[in-house]
Amino acid sequence: MEAAKKSTRRKAGDAIRPERVNAILDALQKTYPKAVCALDHKSAWQLMVATILSAQCTDVRVNLVTPALFKTFPTPRAMAAASLPELEELIRTTGFFRNKAKSIQGAGRVVTEEFGGKVPQTIDELLRIPGVARKTANVVLGSWFKIADGVVVDTHVLRIAHRLELTKETTPEKVERDLMQILPQSEWIDFTHRIIAHGRAICVARKPRCADCPLEPLCNAEDKTFASH
């Protein structure tokens, strides 16, 4: 048994060789050609707020909350002037609503006072906004401005990057660094959308649907499963 296990292990570097990475990208493109950000939004500001609210919450739940939120407080200036109790009530079902209310109120203030009411287009400026870390900044830059400055690493990307042996790191920052090194920059934005779609549809956290997976021939994950026939 141990010998069999050893025989299935890849040599160091095999998992991230360009030919394999390109095969993964091709399979994802063919399977999810129209994958886009799942958070409903009509502006960079709305996308930023929605992404802040999506922490520890499903995109479906966020999409149920944001219409009333943006109708009540449609601009960064209006969000900044909102009272915390009002914001908390509107976003309560997203979880951690008190901290999130402070973040989006603070984001409205900084965007209004420091950036003239417009969401900035650089990673350094975005990271100055309350509630915005690299994930949110990359979402806004990639999905709205089409600027590939980094790779969004959410729970789906983290899980599947490990299963595909594209990284051995455990923190989002280090996983992002690894992915940026092995993926062509032109693929950074679409890769995230497609991996997230794949993580929701097939490569789920528990009992991944490996028998239906277009990446199965390329995958050597230890927790692979196959549907019974």
Decide: 42 and 203 in contact? Cβ < 8 Å: no
Which pLDDT score, from 0 to 100, does residue 1 have?
A: 37
Q: How far apart are CA 225 and CA 10, in angstroms?
A: 19
Q: How far apart are CA 76 and CA 225, in angstroms?
A: 47
Interhelix angle 44-53/59-72, rounded to 10 degrees, is 130
Decide: 70 and 50 in contact? Cβ < 8 Å: no
Distances (CA, A) of 47 to 94, 110, 206: 15, 16, 29
Which pLDDT score, from 0 to 100, does residue 11 have?
A: 60
Query: What kind of fold does domain 44-144 have according to CATH?
Result: Endonuclease III; domain 1 (1.10.340)
CA atoms within 13 A on the CB side of 146: 0
Assign domain 21-36+150-218 one CATH number from 3.30.750.200, 1.10.1670.10, 3.40.50.300, 1.10.10.10.
Answer: 1.10.1670.10
Which pLDDT score, from 0 to 100, does residue 14 have?
A: 87
Which pLDDT score, from 0 to 100, does residue 13 have?
A: 76
Catalytically annotated residue among 59, 135, 149, 190: 135
Decide: 64 and 93 in contact? Cβ < 8 Å: yes
pTM: 0.90
Which pLDDT score, from 0 to 100, does residue 12 have?
A: 53
Residues of the chain with pLDDT under 50: 1-8, 227-229
Q: List pLDDT tens digits, range 73-114.
A: 999 999 999 999 999 999 999 999 999 999 999 999 999 999
Decide: 44 and 119 in contact? Cβ < 8 Å: yes
Domains 21-36+150-218 and 44-144 belong to one CATH topology:
no
Q: How far apart are CA 62 and CA 40, in angstroms?
A: 9
Active site (annotated) includes residue 154: yes
Burial (Cβ within 10 Å: 0-12, 13-18, ≥19) of residue 102: middle
Active site (annotated) includes residue 102: no
Decide: 123 and 129 in contact? Cβ < 8 Å: no
Q: How far apart are CA 54 and CA 56, in angstroms?
A: 6
Domain boundaries, the chain: 21-36+150-218, 44-144
Distances (CA, A) of 207 to 5, 56, 166, 201, 211: 21, 21, 20, 12, 11
Q: How far apart are CA 223 and CA 85, in angstroms?
A: 45
Catalytically annotated residue among 59, 149, 154, 190: 154
Which pLDDT score, from 0 to 100, does residue 58 have?
A: 94
